Structure 1
Amino acid sequence: MTDKLWGGRFAEDITQEVLDYTLTVDVDERLVFADLWQDLAHMLMLGVRGIVTGEVAQAVLGSLLRLWERAERGELRLRPELEDVHFNLEQQVIEELGRERGGHLQTARSRNDQVSTDTRMYLRRIQLDAVAANLDLIGELLAFPETDLLAILPGYTHSQAAQPISVAFWKSAHASMLLRDVRRLRGAFERTDECPLGACALAGTSFPLDRELTARLLGFGGVLSHALDATSARDYLIESAAAFAIGGNNLSRMAEEIVMWSGHEYRLVEVADAYATGSSIMPQKKNPVVAELARGRAGRTAGTLVQLLTMAKGVTLGYSCDLQEDKPYLWHAIDAYLSTLRIVAGQTRGLRFDGARGEQLCWDNFSTATELANHLVTAHGLPFREAHHVSGALVAALLKRGATLRDTAAAAEILGELGHPVDEPVLARLFAPAAAVSGYTSPGGTSPRSVTAVRAELSSAAEAHAAWLGGARRRLRDAQDATFAAARDVAAGAGIAKALDRIAPSLNGEL
C-alpha cells in the first residue's frame, strides 16, 4: 500500500516520473502564507462547530503557528515527494502531532476548495499591488510641471503628424488610460474576493460547517455559495489575466512612443541614462532598453491570457488536473506586469521632452492646417467641407513650392488665388502650433485650461481609488491579524468561542 495521504485504496505508489510530472511544490511556494492562514481559519471553525474536540483544535493550531514561525524565518521547505503545499503542511502537522490529532486538519475540506481558496487569497494581494503600482505611475504622469502645458509635441494619427498637442496632454492621456486599468483590477478583485472554502470536493459535506465564519476569518467579502461552481471556477483567474494583459498592452503602447520618439529622426524625448544602455560596438548609441523590454514583455501577459482560456475551455464542472496549469503561467504574467509597472514609473520620472523640436515638427508637417479650415468657417461663413478643401489645396500648393506654413506670405498669396484671401498676420496666428494648442479649449482638449481641468478630474479619481485600496488592504490585514490572534489564544488554552468573540470587532461585526 502507498503511504500517500490519499493512498488507502492504492496497492502501489506512483512512480518518480509520475510524481515529477504532477507535483506543484515549486509553484506552490507563493501559497504557503495563504494555506497556513486558511488552515488556521478552518481549524477554528471546526472547533467552534464541535466537529473536532477542543483538545484537537488546540494542538493543531499550535502546530500550524509553529509552521508559520518557521515560514517567517525562511526555514519552511516544501518536500517534492508530498506533491503540493496542502499535503506538505498537513503532513508536517501529522509528523509533529501524530495522525490521531494532526489527521483531523483535512476534515470537511478537499484540496479542490483548498487550492481555489489559496489562489484567490494570493491573487487578491497581487490585484491590490497592481492597483497601487498603477496609481504610482499615474501620480508620476500627473505630476507634470506647468511648463509641460505649453511644451509642444506633434500628435499622431496613422503614424503621421496630425495636430499639435502638449506634453502635459500626452502624459494625462496615458494617466487616463491607466485609470481604466485600475477600474478593471478593482472589478477583478470584487469577483476574486469570494470564498470557496467549505465547498469541499464539489458537492459540499454532511458536516455542519460555518462557511460565513471562515470567509470572514480569511478577509473575504462574501461566500461563493454554490459548491460545484466554487470548486470549478477559474474565470476569476482568466479575468485577472485579461486585466494584466490589457494593462501590459497599455504600457507597451506608451513604451512604443518613447522608443520611437527617442530616435534621431524624431528627437522628441530622451530617457534618463539610468534607463538606457549602450552598444557593445557603437560608442555613440543610447538605447532605451527599459521601454523596449516593457513593450516586449506585454507578450508574456497576452500569452498567459490565451493559455488560461485554452486550459479552461474543455474542463467540465468539478475539478480536473488541467486546472493546476493555471498558476505557473499566471505567476509569470504577474511578475512581468508588476515589474514593468514599477520600472516604467521610474523611467517616466526621468523623461526629458524637447518642446522646441516638437514645435519644429509641427511646422514641418502642416499640423495646424485644420485651424485655417476652422477660420474659414467662423470668419468667412464657408461650410466646413468647402473650408477643408481650400485648406488642403493650400497645403498641396505649398508642398509644390517646397514651403511650409511658416511661409505666411506664400500662403496668403495662394489663398488669394483660390478666392479666399486671409491677411498674413491672421495666418501667422492661425498657423502657430503654440496658439493652436492654447486654442483647443473644448472639454478634454489640449489647451492648458482643458488639461488642467482633466488633471484635477483624474487626480480626484486616483485619490478615490487610493482610499479604496487602503480600505481593502486594511480589511485583509485586520482579518489575518484577528485569525492569528484567535489561533494563539486557543493554542494557549483559551476556549474557541471566547477567542472568536474577542476578535469579532476586527472582522467588521458579529461572527
Structure 2
Amino acid sequence: MSDNSVFPHPVYKDTVLAPLFEGAKAHHVDAFRRINQAHLVMLVEEGILPQSTGHKLATALRAIDEEVDVQSLTYTGEVEDYFFLVEAELKKRLGPDLAGALHTARSRNDMDHTVFKLGLQKRADELIRSLYSLVQAMHETAAREKETLIVAYTHGQPAQPSTFGHYLLAASEVLLRDLDRLMLARHQIEKCPMGAAAITTSGFPISRTYIAELLGFEAPLENAYGCIASVDYITGLYSAIKLIFVHLGRVIQDFQFWSAFEVGQLYVPNALVQISSIMPQKRNPVPIEHMRHLCSVTAGRCDMMVNTMHNTPFTDMNDSEGEVQQAGYATFESGGRAIDLLAAFIPALSINEERVAKTSDAACITITELADTLVREESISFRQAHEIAAATAKKVIADGKSLAEAYEDFHAAFEKMTERDTHLNEAAYRKAVSARHFVNVRKRFGGPAPVAIEDSLERQIAHFDQLKTEFEHIQTRKNNANQMREKAFDALLNNRGE
C-alpha cells in the first residue's frame, strides 16, 4: 500500500510525471538551457544579482551541461520535473541559497510558455523550409508544363481544356496564401512570455525586452496575465497548419483520380509505383495514398490541439502545457513527411497526351469555344450560340465521333437555329474546336494561355521571394541573438566579479 502523504503517488509518477520528463528530455532541454543563460545574463546586467553570483551560477550551469547526461536519465520521482532537476544539480554545486538565486523574478509559468514557443518556432521553421521546397517544385514544374494540355474536370466530369502548368499554379497560389497565414501565426510565437513570472511580473527591476532579445524573440508579450493564460499562439499556429494540409489533400485527391485507369491522363513513373503481389498487370501509385492519409492525420492532429484548448479556463493550466505540446509536435513529423514526398512527386509526373486528346474528343470539352467563336464571328447572341454548340455536341456524342470531324453536323445545327448559312468554313471550325486554340485564346489575367501562365508565375515568384526574405530576417535575428547570448554568458564565466 502506498503512502498517500508522500509526493509523488506512484501512479501519478508513472502516468504523468515520468512521461512529461521523457518529453522534456526529447524536446526541451536546449530551450531550458537557453532560458537559464538569458535570464542569468539579464539579472546580472540589471544589477539584480552581483557579478560574482552570476559567475558562480554560470559556472555551475556549464558544469551541468557537461557532466549530466540527461538522455540517459530515468525518472525516479526524486524531483518533480526537468526544471527541478536542474535546480537540484545547482544545489549540489552551490548550496540551496546561491542555487535559488537563478529563479529570482521568474516562474515555471513564464518559463514553460517560453519553452513551448521556442519549440514551436523550431518546428514551424522546419515546416516552412519544406513548404518552400514544395512551392519551388510546383513553380518549376508549372513552367515546364505551361503548354501541356490536360482535361479540367468539374463535378467529376470533363469540362474544358487547360494545362498542367495552369493547374499547378492554381495549387501553388493557394499554398502561397497558406504560407501567408502560417507566417502570420508564426509572428504570434515571436512574443516572449519571460518576465511575466507567475502571472503579474515582478517587483524586481527586470528587463523583459532584454531577455526577449537574448532569446531571439521579436519583443516581449505585453500583458503578464496573457503571457501565461492565452493560448492563441497554439490555436492560431495549428489552425494555419491545418489549412495547408486540407488544401494539399484536395490536389492529392485529384492526382488519384487523374491516374486511375479509366481517366489515365496522369502518368506516375515506375520509381513511385508499387506492384501487386498477385495481379501482374497492376501499377499502383500508392505514394498518393500515403500523402493523402498523412495530410489527413496532420489535419487531425491540428484539430486535437485546437479542441484541447476548448472550454479551458483563461489562466495557467496544464491543458496547454507539457503533455499537450509534446503531442502536438507529431503534427510536424507527419506533415513534413507529406510535404517532402509531394515535393519529389510533382516534378516526376507527366501527362498522357494521347489520353487527354481522346477524352477531349469524346467529351466535346472545347465546345464552349465554338459558342464563343460564333458570338464573335457570326454576330449572334451567346444563347443562340450555346444552343447551336449544344446540338452539335449532342450529335457528336451520339455518333461516337470526334468533334473536329463534325463540321456538317455543326453546319446543320447553325442553319436550323439562324435560318442562314455560317461564315465559318471547315478549317475555321476545326480551329475553333481544337484544344490548343481553346487554351491559347484564353490569355486573360489568370488564364491558361502560355503568356498568361508566364505572367502569373512571375507574380507568384515575387510573392514567394517576399515570404523568403521575411523568413530570412527572422533567422538572422535568431542567429544574432544566439551569438549575443552566448557571448554574454561566456563573459559571466570569465569574470569572477571579485
Q: TM-score, normalised by structure 1?
A: 0.89
Cα contact 1:172–1:455 (8 A) shared by 2: yes
Cα contact 1:194–1:223 (8 A) shared by 2: yes
User: Kindly tell me: are residues 157 and 94 of structure 1, through their superposed partners in 2, closer, same or farther at Cα, counting changes over 3 Å?
Assistant: farther
Equivalent residue letter for 1:393: A
Shift of 1:230: 0.8
Distance 2:357 2:256 in 1: 19
Distance 2:64 2:349 in 1: 47
- Given the alignment of the two structures, is residue 40 of structure 1 paired with residue 37 of structure 2, yes or no? yes
Distance 2:401 2:67 in 1: 75
Equivalent residue letter for 1:473: Q
Match of residue 504 from structure 1: none
Once structures 1 and 2 are overlaid, which stretch shifts more, 377-386 or 129-138?
377-386
Pairing partner for 1:243 from 232, 240, 245: 240
Q: What are the within-5 Å matches in structure 2 for residues 157-168 of structure 1?
A: 157-168=154-165
User: Kindly tell me: are residues 77 and 468 of structure 1, through their superposed partners in 2, closer, same or farther at Cα, counting changes over 3 Å?
Assistant: farther
SS in structure 1 at match of 2:202:
coil
Shift of 1:344: 1.2
Match of residue 390 from structure 1: 388
SS in structure 1 at match of 2:410:
helix
User: Kindly tell me: are residues 20 and 414 of structure 1, through their superposed partners in 2, closer, same or farther at Cα, counting changes over 3 Å?
Assistant: farther
Unaligned 5+ runs, structure 2: none
Shift of 1:165: 0.8
Match of residue 502 from structure 1: none
Distance 1:495 1:132 in 2: 44
Match of residue 489 from structure 2: 487
Equivalent residue letter for 1:60: L
Pairing partner for 1:451 from 453, 458, 473: 453
Distance 2:94 2:112 in 1: 24
Distance 2:30 2:273 in 1: 37
Cα contact 1:137–1:341 (8 A) shared by 2: yes
SS in structure 1 at match of 2:102:
coil
SS in structure 1 at match of 2:130:
helix
Shift of 1:94: 3.0
- Given the alignment of the two structures, is residue 294 of structure 1 paired with residue 296 of structure 2, yes or no? no
Distance 2:128 2:338 in 1: 13
Cα contact 1:408–1:427 (8 A) shared by 2: no
Superimposed CA distance per residue, residues 282-328 of structure 1 (whole angstroms, 9 cap, x where no aligned partner): 23333222221111122222222322232212222221122234313
Unaligned 5+ runs, structure 1: 1-9, 497-511
- Given the alignment of the two structures, is residue 133 of structure 1 paired with residue 130 of structure 2, yes or no? yes
Q: What are the within-5 Å matches in structure 2 for residues 74-153 of structure 1?
A: 77=73, 79=75, 81=77, 82-144=79-141, 148-153=145-150
Equivalent residue letter for 1:100: D
Match of residue 271 from structure 1: 268
Once structures 1 and 2 are overlaid, which stretch shifts more, 265-274 or 130-139?
265-274
Q: What are the within-5 Å matches in structure 2 for residues 218-233 of structure 1?
A: 218-233=215-230
- Given the alignment of the two structures, is residue 16 of structure 1 paired with residue 7 of structure 2, yes or no? no
User: Kindly tell me: are residues 77 and 164 of structure 1, through their superposed partners in 2, closer, same or farther at Cα, counting changes over 3 Å?
Assistant: farther
Cα contact 2:106–2:194 (8 A) shared by 1: yes
Distance 1:486 1:162 in 2: 65
Match of residue 501 from structure 1: none
- Given the alignment of the two structures, is residue 336 of structure 1 paired with residue 330 of structure 2, yes or no? no
User: Kindly tell me: are residues 160 and 26 of structure 1, through their superposed partners in 2, closer, same or farther at Cα, counting changes over 3 Å?
Assistant: farther
Structure 1 residue ranges, 4+ long, deviating more than 6 angstroms after superposition? none
Distance 2:254 2:131 in 1: 19
SS in structure 2 at match of 1:427:
helix
Distance 2:285 2:70 in 1: 37
Task: Report how many residues are paired.
Answer: 486
User: Kindly tell me: are residues 424 and 85 of structure 1, through their superposed partners in 2, closer, same or farther at Cα, counting changes over 3 Å?
Assistant: farther
Pairing partner for 1:360 from 327, 352, 358: 358
Shift of 1:459: 1.2
User: Kindly tell me: are residues 481 and 401 of structure 1, through their superposed partners in 2, closer, same or farther at Cα, counting changes over 3 Å?
Assistant: same
Pairing partner for 1:173 from 164, 170, 174: 170
Shift of 1:121: 1.3
- Identical pairs, percent: 23
Equivalent residue letter for 1:441: K
Equivalent residue letter for 1:204: T
Equivalent residue letter for 1:27: G
Pairing partner for 2:443 from 441, 444, 462: 441
- Given the alignment of the two structures, is residue 56 of structure 1 paired with residue 50 of structure 2, yes or no? no
